[in-house]
Chain A
Amino acid sequence: MAEKESKKELKKKLKKKEDKKAAKREKKSLMKLQRMIVTNLDVYYGDFLAVQDVNMEIRPKAVTAIIGPSGCGKSTFLRTLNRMHEITPSASVQGSVQLEGVDLYSDDVDPVEVRRHIGYVFQRPNPFPHLSIQENILAGIRLNKQKLSKEEENELVISCLKNVNLYKEVKDKLNQPATSLSGGQQQRLCIARAIAVKPNVLLMDEPCSALDPISTRSIEDLIVSLKSQFTIVIVTHNMQQAQRISDWCAFFNVTATGEPGRLVELDKTDTIFNSPNKKATSDYINGRFG
């Protein structure tokens, strides 16, 4: 009798353990969903090697900031993460960038498809000037040929606008041109447009550099709140900003003009700012150059 009971208990325990394992596995796979791994990446403009030999892992559901002096290839690198780089004539890339284990640069991957999964927010707000606020958000959906009913569309617009803390400000003028908004509002609209297609990863290229401090603050808050849903990579040359919002921080550097930029160090933001491993990092952090 006692034996039986203990067996039962054991089974229960085992089952529990299995459940836990499964849950863990599931969690892991979900976590994995948005992880990006960059290996041996060289980026070229024609014959010019702009960024050399980058190896890094971009953690899922976290904000990774890329910092470094001007001309070190931060933006160039960012553009390779969703194959925007190759829009520039004569630009090319060697090495691999993986999302969920899929190499974005393998031959059978369509760059258009890549960009649908990895959103991009630009330095200057660039809503489509001829479209209304609502149409701007729906632009990506229209491109993906997704058929949504009117209610679904309205819901999506509202949820995206709420997601970027813009809904209250624009709810009465969804049909007005996007250009009627202020710069900060436009940038939030652009973020809303990018997340409307539910990307896995969101790339941002100095999204606050054209904005005033108050708009910058609201975008920063927004980025922090969005990291529960998306993996975010942000290029910034504002170190305080990197410190405020990022979990991981990558420092890029260039030794001289004409030389390629390189990844110097990637670590937790705390570590980068308080006890960096490389001397170049601490020199840059402490404002000794750049």
Chain B
Amino acid sequence: MLKIASKTSGIIILTTLALVVIFLSIEAVPAIFASQDALRDQIPWFANSGDHNIWQYSIPLLFSTILAALLALLIAVPLSIAVALFLTYYVPKRISSVFGSLIDLLAAIPSVVYGLWAVAVLVPRLSGVFNFLSRNFGWIPLFHGPVAEPPRVLLTVSIVFAVMVIPIITALACEIYSQTPHLNTEAALALGATKWESIRLSVLPFGKSGIISASMLGLGRALGETMAVLMILSPGHSFSLSVLMSGQHQTIAGNIAANFPEAGSLGVSALITTGLVLFLLTFIINFLARKVVDLPLKTKRRKK
């Protein structure tokens, strides 16, 4: 009985996945095989981009999407780990459970609300920080100026993404860290480890694969996030790394949402093609994450 049930569920999941791919592919066909002239005639935003075919059009979008999501993870993962460790190992149980449920609440806030908050509160306050970054670290390509004013730029989007995914990653990390076997932590403590050392020696290695999975969930949300991009970003179409300049980037999800209402049939097909690209990207990322998680134990000598 259980065998049948689990088998059918497995098959259902796989068919759904396959159907999504098939749907996206079929819908994408007109745009993929359309001539350059047809695309330019029928889709104004495609004509503006000056690209030759739909793949060429997709790649800068893909680039911006990945860039925004990676920057968001770069901000969110360390913070989430720190918060999770703090809640699991440094705070009395009562307080940490209160904080834990607050964090779960944060995860439930809709992204429009985060977007509104970002536009009203975050954007005006960030320009000082960004100017500082650009002035002092402008030699890093990421922080090239001039800083847009107001800073409706990709880094702002990344920060909002980070705020959105921190609750998700933190909640999962808390769960993972609280399951570290006592024996491992005590083994470290019995050797004369301080609390932090015992965490480094037992909790962090134990949680590594779980944290990677949690980050991937966060990454998934960041890749697909639409509202915040639409509300914050002043869009562009390039491979620029300068995340402080405006008019440089647009994410796939943001682009679809922005252009969909005005799109004709070929336009819709073109947008769906970019959606297919995003789908493939998440697929590949998940696959790679699986690989990383399953990576055999490193037995090489730790470098010191």
Contacts and interface: CB of A to CB of B under 8 A. Distances in A.
Contacts of B194: 112
A52 interface: no
A140 interface: yes
A115 B193 CA distance: 8
A143 interface: yes
A112 B192 contact: yes
B191 A197 contact: yes
Contacts of B205: 128-130
Given A128-B205, A130-B205, A112 B187 contact: no
B191 A135 contact: no
Interface in A45-101: 82, 84, 87, 89
B184 interface: yes
Interface stretch (B77-85, B210-218, B227-235, B295-303): B295-303
A84 B189 contact: yes
Nearest to B208: A130
A155 B297 CA distance: 25
Interface string B138-180: 0000000000000000000000000000000000000000000
Interface stretch (A30-38, A116-124, A211-219, A256-264): A116-124
Interface residues of B, number: 25
B268 to A, nearest CB: 50
Given A84-B190, A128-B205, A177 B299 contact: yes
B201 interface: yes
B104 interface: no
Contacts of B300: 175
Contacts of A87: 186, 189
Contacts of A142: 304
A156 interface: no
A176 B191 CA distance: 21
B209 to A, nearest CB: 11
A54 to B, nearest CB: 21
A144 B192 contact: yes
A113 interface: yes
Interface in A114-151: 115-116, 119-120, 122, 124, 126-130, 132, 134-135, 139-140, 142-144
Contacts, number: 74
Contacts of B206: 129-130
A120 B201 contact: no
Contacts of B302: 135
B2 interface: no
B197 interface: yes
Given A112-B192, A143-B197, A144-B192, A128 B299 contact: no
B190 A197 contact: no
A194 interface: yes
Contacts of A197: 191-192
Contacts of A116: 191-192
A194 B299 contact: no
A254 interface: no
Contacts of A139: 188, 191, 201
A190 interface: yes
Q: Which of A115, A119, A130, A134 has the most CB of B within 10 A?
A: A130
A227 interface: no
A154 to B, nearest CB: 11
B255 interface: no
14 contacts: A84-B186, A84-B190, A112-B193, A112-B194, A122-B183, A122-B187, A126-B184, A128-B184, A129-B297, A135-B301, A135-B302, A139-B191, A143-B192, A175-B299
Interface of A: 82, 84, 87, 89, 112-113, 115-116, 119-120, 122, 124, 126-130, 132, 134-135, 139-140, 142-144, 175-177, 190, 193-194, 197
Please list the 6 inter-chain residue pairs (A to B) with the smallest Cβ-Cβ separation, ordered nearest first.
Answer: A116-B192, A120-B190, A130-B205, A126-B183, A140-B191, A115-B192
